[in-house]
Structure 1
Amino acid sequence: MDVEAIRVRDLVRDVVTEVAPEELPLVAGLAGFDDAGAVRRLGGRDRRRETLGFGLGEAAALVTPVVWLAVDQAAQRIVGTWMDNGITRTGTALRRLFRRPVSEPVVIPPLTREQLALVRESVLTMAAQRGLEAERAAVIADAVVTRLVLVETEADGTPELPGSDTPDGPERPDRPDEL
């Protein structure tokens, strides 16, 4: 993974840790799937193997599907990596054949202000579709955008907090008395 980019699954984990830590077992459970498989499961299109008689569709107010689906959707639009149906079918066939993920993780590069606004709007829209309250949706959307901005800040070498060291920054004294 590039320093200036973040994988969707890492962003989801970071945001869920911040706004809904009780959902971390769900995020951990999705770690065994590739990104396309996780999106299928969270989107409710993969119902054939539900052994409990219910699925994520019944848990519509979860944060994890909102963040993952919205960010994945926005990343696909921004990066322009919508896959051709033939490629998707081939990837699905290979997954079935080898019983393991074959797709590359979705990665979000540094974004412009307009693209960050698109991601925020995507999260708000997905949250509304999933039945989250507007106030809760705004908190989630803000957490997603904040994390994306922090990734860009880290990539630029700008310290996250005043006084933090950066690998490429000027040498700083080890002790305050050396100032």
Structure 2
Amino acid sequence: MTTVSVHDLAKRVVEAVAPGELASFEPVAAPYLDHPARAERRLRRGDDDPLGFGLGDAVEMVTPVVALVSGSVITALSDGFGEAVKGGVGKVFRKLTKRRAVEAPVRAWSEDELAKVRATALVRAKALGVREAKAEALADAIVVALLLERDGRG
């Protein structure tokens, strides 16, 4: 069975929403993919400098947020959404920050599952401080990236 990794999903989404960040994707995304909880704490404190050049305040990058949101989506997919959505979308965030899956199976997701993917991505992005319009665009890009992955257009 084919799988999609957090890394691959995040990279595909960055390519779609911020292609200018693709050249720096690997070094910028690495801490968020390898140690998401630690990297998220730094991001929330506002002292995260993804490039390491003192440009953190000058350059707003989407790669860190995309990496964290992709991790939440992959975890939800690998869990089959089960317990994560029983109590409503608001509880997804708390569950998904506790454990992260590295990959999820690629399959023909139902419309309901894709709606849950979008809702998960939207809640997560907003929780990370992304404004409504950008969070909506990011959630849509995640769904499109998963559909492209499913259709083998990688």
* TM-score between the two structures when normalised by the length of structure 2: 0.62
Pick from 16, 37, 40 the counterpart of residue 40 of structure 1: 37
Mapped partners of 2:43, 2:125: distance in 1: 20
Cα distance change on mapping 1:27 and 1:42 into 2, 3 Å? farther
Distance 1:10 1:45 in 2: 23
Residue aligned with 2:151, SS: helix
Residues in 2 aligned to 1:107 and 1:77: alpha-carbon distance in whole angstroms: 10
CA distance in 1, matches of 2:9, 2:77: 16
- Report the residue type matching 1:77 in the other structure: A
1:23 and 1:41 map into 2 onto residues whose CA distance is 22
State the percentage of identical aligned residues: 30
User: Gapped runs of 5+ residues in structure 1?
Assistant: 48-52, 82-104, 155-159, 161-179
Greater gyration radius: 1
Partner of 2:105: 109
AA partner of residue 55 (structure 1): D
| Aligned residue in 1 for 2:127 | 129
**Bigger helix share:** 2
CA RMSD of aligned residues (A): 3.4
Give unmatched runs, 5+ long, in structure 2. Answer: 51-55, 81-100
Contact 1:67 1:123 in 2 (8 A): no
| Distance verdict in 2 for CA 1:31–1:69, change over 3 Å | closer
1:70 deviation in Å? Answer: 2.1
Matches within 5 A, 1:3-82: 4-24=2-22, 26-30=24-28, 35-37=33-35, 39-44=36-41, 54-55=47-48, 62-80=61-79
Is the 1:70–1:119 Cα contact (8 Å) retained in structure 2?
no
Q: TM-score, normalised by structure 1?
A: 0.54
